[in-house]
Amino acid sequence: TVTEDDAAFQERIDDDQFIEPKDYMPEAYRKTLIRQIAQHAHSEIVGMLPEGNWVTRAPSLRRKLILIAKIQDEAGHGLYLYSAAETLGVARDDLVQELHEGKAKYSTIFNYPSLNWADIGAIGWLVDGAAITNQIPLCRTSYGPYARAMVRVCKEESFHQRQGYELMMAMAKGSEAQKEMAQDALNRWWWPSLMMFGPPDAESTHTAQSMAWKIKRFTNDELRQRFIDATIPQAEALGLTVPDPDLKWNEERGHYDYGEIDWDEFWAVVRGEGICARDRIRDRVNAYEDGAWVREAAEAYAAKQNQKAAV
């Protein structure tokens, strides 16, 4: 049954108004947002790991500086997102604990290994490219704190995408061996990047309701197509080959047709069977435990400041 409150809420959504933390919202809307924002936050934090793998082996000081700055940005994104989730009445500590217990989802993409230096380029180009395609529309998602967090996140992701593409360009126009590394990275990251957009619309549990609530502004398949259409000319400019023999421009549709995505692989990675899944959680738990002294020091400092203020 739809209550009067629910009907008024839907009217506000239909009128493109933002919903703010203290406004009325249906419980299911709140739950969906907590789920999506928390998964998004976890993705940003776990997403630091594949790139962190290359910090000590970046080939020049310039590349190392760029990479460290990018990884630091991802940490910031995770923190804004946990804060946005907290406005819905959950505690960040609880969300983090669920991640560490292996109960929370994060993007499948971060369970693949980063094997050669060109992977850092491919991650920026493709993974950040896919992330922007998905997140630009989220700047107009119906929940105010999430939408506002996305504005800055998208600006930073655009820089990340550019640095990745510039790195790919250097590799693709470099020596024969560098070009091979670039092609190898594209071969391994292409399909997992397409999977970032989630299951096909027909199998997506949440899309219909999330579209009605304007949490999502486009469906998974719409955004996947938009990403493919934008990225193919970029691959051509690099002189690299996208590993999909069925990829073909469809004049009638005005879009690229593409081959079948391996959805069995996708669901296996969602279930936690990705190549790096265990390493990722172990690394996060270790980082959290190793950082305990920082949290304790911050708490001791805050207590001291409070004591001073009370005097």
Give the Cα separation of 307 and 3 in Å (integer). 48
Taking the complex as a whole, how short is the minimal distance between the CB of residue 208 and ligand FAQ, in angstroms? 9
Number of residues in contact with ligand FAQ, rule: CB under 6 A?
Answer: 28
Tell me the pairing of strands 248-250 and 255-257: antiparallel
Instruction: Please answer whether residues 172 and 238 qualify as being in contact, where contact means their C-beta atoms are separated by less than 8 angstroms.
Output: yes
Interacting positions 58-97 with ligand FAQ (CB under 6 A): 74
Q: Which of 90, 147, 168, 196 binds ligand FAQ (CB under 6 A)?
A: 196
Instruction: Please answer whether residues 227 and 130 qualify as being in contact, where contact means their C-beta atoms are separated by less than 8 angstroms.
Output: yes
Instruction: Please answer whether residues 184 and 118 qualify as being in contact, where contact means their C-beta atoms are separated by less than 8 angstroms.
Output: yes
193 makes contact with ligand FAQ (CB under 6 A) = no
Q: Which of 195, 228, 238, 277 binds ligand FAQ (CB under 6 A)?
A: 195
Q: Which stretch binds ligand FAQ (CB under 6 A): 13-21, 126-134, 174-182, 230-238?
A: 126-134
Taking the complex as a whole, how short is the minimal distance between the CB of residue 303 and ligand FAQ, in angstroms? 34
DSSP three-state, residue 103: coil
Q: Of the two residues 169 and 270, which places its CB atom closer to ligand FAQ in the complex?
A: 270
Nearest to 128 by CA among 74, 199, 75: 74
Give the Cα separation of 136 and 217 in Å (integer). 10
142 makes contact with ligand FAQ (CB under 6 A) = no
- What stretch of H or E contains 167? helix 144-172
Q: How far is CA 241 from CA 160, 213, 277, in A?
A: 22, 39, 28
Interacting positions 37-56 with ligand FAQ (CB under 6 A): 39-40, 43-44, 47
206 makes contact with ligand FAQ (CB under 6 A) = yes
Taking the complex as a whole, how short is the minimal distance between the CB of residue 284 and ligand FAQ, in angstroms? 13
Q: How far is CA 268 from CA 36, 88, 297, in A?
A: 20, 30, 41
Taking the complex as a whole, how short is the minimal distance between the CB of residue 106 and ligand FAQ, in angstroms? 7
Q: Of the two residues 110 and 256, which places its CB atom closer to ligand FAQ in the complex?
A: 110
Helix 61-86 and helix 27-46, axial crossing angle in degrees, nearest 10: 160
Q: Of the two residues 53 and 241, which places its CB atom closer to ligand FAQ in the complex?
A: 53
Give the Cα separation of 192 and 27 in Å (integer). 33
Q: Of the two residues 134 and 183, which places its CB atom closer to ligand FAQ in the complex?
A: 134
Contact map string, positions 264 to 293, toward ligand FAQ, x by CB under 6 A: ------x-----------------------
205 makes contact with ligand FAQ (CB under 6 A) = yes
**Most distant CA pair in the chain: distance in Å?**
75
Q: Which of 29, 80, 107, 276 binds ligand FAQ (CB under 6 A)?
A: 107
Instruction: Please answer whether residues 67 and 58 qualify as being in contact, where contact means their C-beta atoms are separated by less than 8 angstroms.
Output: yes
Sites of contact with ligand FAQ (CB under 6 A): 35-36, 39-40, 43-44, 47, 74, 105, 107-108, 123, 127-128, 131, 134, 195-199, 204-207, 210, 220, 270
